[in-house]
Amino acid sequence: MNRTSTIRRLEPGQVDVWCCATDEPRLLNQYERYEAILSDEEKEEYRQRQFSTQAGAYLVSRALLRTVLSEYCDLAPEALSFGTNEFGKPELLGEATRHICFNAAHTHGLTLCAVSGGQAVGIDVEFQTDSAGMLDAADDYLSADEATALRSVAEEQKLSAFFRYWTLKEAYLKARGQGLSIALHEFSFLLDGMNVTQFIGPDAARWDFRLLAQDNDFTAAVAVDGKISQLNAFHSMPLISSRELASLQDILPAN
């Protein structure tokens, strides 16, 4: 694939968040093109999922990741190489991509990718519909302070509040890239609605967080090892079109 577009630049503290609805019907005609840009390992993974309901979502997610990341370096999507750290966190390999940090998240019908210029980043998105049962196990996932705060929330708002904590915690763990070496109970977020007012945990002063968006179905959050000075949102249909979004809330599919 020939590269014709200008390489995107990342300023210090800038985080770009990309989204794609994996069940978008217009993507179906692109599946052969998507498979063509995958690595041999990704193609094998896709083939193993052929009889799964998640095969298409996997293919679109990998295509989104490759096409997005290629916009930040002088490499075609199929030329990107991926590895993992000792805990399994994905990372780009090669000199041309050493300035790029990224993380991806997937849930029911939606994939997100966050990109930063050299700052470790983690992103999480959760499909909260029909997940009310999570509240019964909230104490297993939250710190004592978070659990106490959740109990003070009105019953009809509890599930949304729980997922705000949960996505932030997941984003932080993914950004650190050290698996569950830090227990979920060992760090806390203090929230005021969608605003993170305080983070209490390891190296707390280094980290910055944002709740990106929430509606009746989804919640998304991002964590960055460094201060966030700029957050941009983009929508992509891989190899078809991309556009900047007016609001981070627009990363979620329209109801």
Q: Quick one: 102 and 36 in the same domain?
A: yes
102 & 114 share domain: yes
Same domain, 87 and 149: no
The pLDDT of residue 53 is 87
Q: Is there a domain that residue 27 lies in?
A: yes
Any domain includes 238:
yes
Q: Is residue 164 part of a domain?
A: yes
CA distance 131 to 159: 8
| DSSP strands (E only) in 48-155 | 81-84, 90-93, 101-107, 110-116, 121-127
Domain count, the chain: 2
Helix (H, G, I), strand (E, B), or coil: what is residue 106? strand
The answer to whether residues 80 and 125 belong to one domain is: no
250 within a domain of the structure (yes/no): no
- The residue among 167, 157, 161, 165 whose CA lies nearest residue 125 is 167
Q: Would you say residue 249 lies in a domain? A: no
Question: What's the domain range around 219?
Answer: 120-225
Mark whether 137 and 217 lie in a shared domain: yes
- Residue 8: inside a domain, yes or no? no
Domain annotation covers residue 4: no
pLDDT for the residue numbered 77: 98
Distance CA 116, CA 92 (A): 12
Are both 25 and 40 inside the same structural domain?
Answer: yes
For the chain, the distance separating the N- and C-terminal CA atoms, rounded to the nearest angstrom, is 35
Residue 53: inside a domain: yes
We report the CATH number of the domain holding residue 26 as: 3.90.470.20
* Phi, psi dihedrals of residue 114, rounded to the nearest 5°: -110, 135
pLDDT tens for each residue of the chain, 255 residues long: 445 468 999 999 999 999 999 999 999 999 999 999 999 999 999 999 988 889 999 999 999 999 999 999 989 999 999 999 988 899 999 999 999 999 999 999 999 999 999 999 999 999 998 787 889 889 999 999 999 999 999 999 999 999 999 999 999 999 999 877 788 999 999 999 999 999 999 899 999 999 999 999 999 999 999 999 999 999 999 999 999 999 999 999 986
- In this structure, the answer to whether residues 53 and 136 fall within a common structural domain is no
Does 89 share its domain with 134?
no
Surface-to-core class of residue 155, CB atoms within 10 Å of its CB (0-12 exposed, 13-18 middle, 19+ buried) = exposed
